[in-house]
Amino acid sequence: MILDQIHELILRFIENTDQPIFLTGKAGSGKTTFLHHIRANVSKSMAVVAPTAIAAINAGGVTLHSFFQIPFGPLLPSNQEKAFTTTSIKQINQEKAKLLKCLDLLIIDEISMVRADILDYIHSVLCQVRGSNRPFGGVQLLMIGDPYQLPPVYQNDWPVLSSFYEGPYFFNSRIFKQSPFLTFELDKVYRQNNPAFIEILNSIRSGNVSTDLLAVLNTRYSATLNADQVKDHITLSTHNKLVSDINQMRLEELEGEAHIFKAVITGDFPREAYPAEEELVLKEGAHVMFIKNDTSGKKQYYNGRSGRIARIEQGRIWITFLDDGSEFIVNPEIWHNVKYSLSETEGKINESNTGSFTQFPLRLSWAITIHKSQGLSFEKAVIDVNSAFAHGQTYVALSRCRSLEGLILKDPVRQQNIICDPLIVRFMKKALDEKPDMDFLDKVITETDKQQLIDLFDFSLISQSFKLFQSILIENVLSESKATNANKTLNQEVIQVANKFVKQDLSILLADPSYATIWQSEVILNRLRKAAAYFLAKVTLLRQIVHEMYADQSLDELSLDIYPVVNHLLVALDEKITAFTHLPVASSFKNILDAVKQVVLTYQPVSHNSAQKTQPKEVEITNPVLYEQLISWRKEIALQRDVPEYTILSDSVLREISKKLPRSLSQLSQIKNFGQLKATDFGSELIRMIGSFLGENELFF
For domain 624-693, give the fold: DNA polymerase; domain 1 (1.10.150)
Instruction: Give the confidence band of 126 by pLDDT, cuts at 50, 70, 90.
Output: very high
Percent residues over pLDDT 90 in the chain: 37
**Residue 316's pLDDT is what?**
93
Enclosing H/E stretch for 526 = helix 522-551
Q: Per this entry, what is the length of the chain?
A: 701
Q: Dump strand ranges (E) for 401-500.
A: 407-409
Of 191, 113, 209, 85, the closest CA to residue 467 belongs to 85
Distance, C-alpha 204 to centroid of its chain: 33
Residue 508 has pLDDT above 80, yes or no: yes
- Give the separation between CA 428 and CA 423, rounded to whole angstroms: 9
Of 167, 196, 182, the closest CA to residue 425 belongs to 167
Instruction: Give the confidence band of 258 by pLDDT, cuts at 50, 70, 90.
Output: very high
**Residue 614's pLDDT is what?**
46
**Residue 14's pLDDT is what?**
96
**Residue 36's pLDDT is what?**
92
Q: Which residue ranges make up each domain of the chain?
A: 5-190, 195-420, 446-610, 624-693
- Give the separation between CA 581 and CA 574, rounded to whole angstroms: 10
Residue 145 has pLDDT above 90, yes or no: yes
In this structure, what DSSP letter does residue 152 have? Answer: P
Of 73, 31, 37, the closest CA to residue 50 belongs to 31
- Give the separation between CA 135 and CA 448, rounded to whole angstroms: 12
Average pLDDT over residues 534-559: 77
373 or 355: which carries more pLDDT confidence?
Answer: 355
- Give the separation between CA 340 and CA 342, rounded to whole angstroms: 7
What tens digit of pLDDT does each residue of 203-253 get? Answer: 999 888 999 999 999 999 988 877 777 888 899 998 889 899 999 999 999
Instruction: Give the confidence band of 166 by pLDDT, cuts at 50, 70, 90.
Output: very high
- Give the separation between CA 578 and CA 459, rounded to whole angstroms: 14
What tens digit of pLDDT does each residue of 618-668 get? Answer: 456 777 778 888 998 999 888 888 888 878 888 888 988 888 888 888 888
Average pLDDT over residues 371-386: 85
Give me the long-range contacts of 598-603 (CB less than 8 A, separation at least 24): 598/347, 599/571, 599/574, 599/575, 600/98, 600/101, 600/102, 600/347, 600/571, 600/575, 601/98, 601/102, 601/342, 601/344, 601/345, 601/347, 603/98, 603/567, 603/570, 603/571, 603/574
Assigned CATH class of 5-190: alpha beta
Q: To the nearest whole number, what is the mean pLDDT of the chain?
A: 86
Average pLDDT over residues 464-485: 73
- Give the separation between CA 217 and CA 268, rounded to whole angstroms: 46
Beta bridge partners of 340: 351
Least confident range from 207-211, 309-313, 348-352, 420-424: namely 348-352
Cβ(260)–Cβ(280) under 8 Å? yes
Count of CB atoms within 10 A of residue 486's CB? 22
| Phi, psi values for residue 345, rounded to 5° | -100, -40
Q: Dump strand ranges (E) for 60-193.
A: 62-63, 105-109, 140-144, 182-186
Of 588, 600, 520, 436, the closest CA to residue 19 belongs to 436
Fold matches, 5-190 and 624-693: no
Instruction: Give the confidence band of 88 by pLDDT, cuts at 50, 70, 90.
Output: low
- The 3-class secondary structure across 195-206, one letter per residue, is HHHHHHHHHHHC
- Give the separation between CA 691 and CA 532, rounded to whole angstroms: 15
What tens digit of pLDDT does each residue of 1-54 get? Answer: 789 999 999 999 999 999 999 999 998 899 989 999 999 999 999 999 998 877
* Residue 458 three-state SS: coil
**Residue 616's pLDDT is what?**
44
Burial of 372 (0-12, 13-18, 19+ CB in 10 A): middle
| Phi, psi values for residue 369, rounded to 5° | -70, 150
**Residue 379's pLDDT is what?**
87
Instruction: Choose from 292-296, 316-320, 381-385 the range with maximum mean pLDDT.
Output: 316-320
Beta bridge partners of 280: 261
The predicted model scores a pTM of 0.78
In this structure, what DSSP letter does residue 700 have? Answer: -
58 or 507: which carries more pLDDT confidence?
Answer: 507
Cβ(254)–Cβ(285) under 8 Å? yes
Of 622, 159, 58, the closest CA to residue 372 belongs to 58
Instruction: Give the confidence band of 505 by pLDDT, cuts at 50, 70, 90.
Output: confident
Count of CB atoms within 10 A of residue 379's CB? 20
**Residue 554's pLDDT is what?**
58
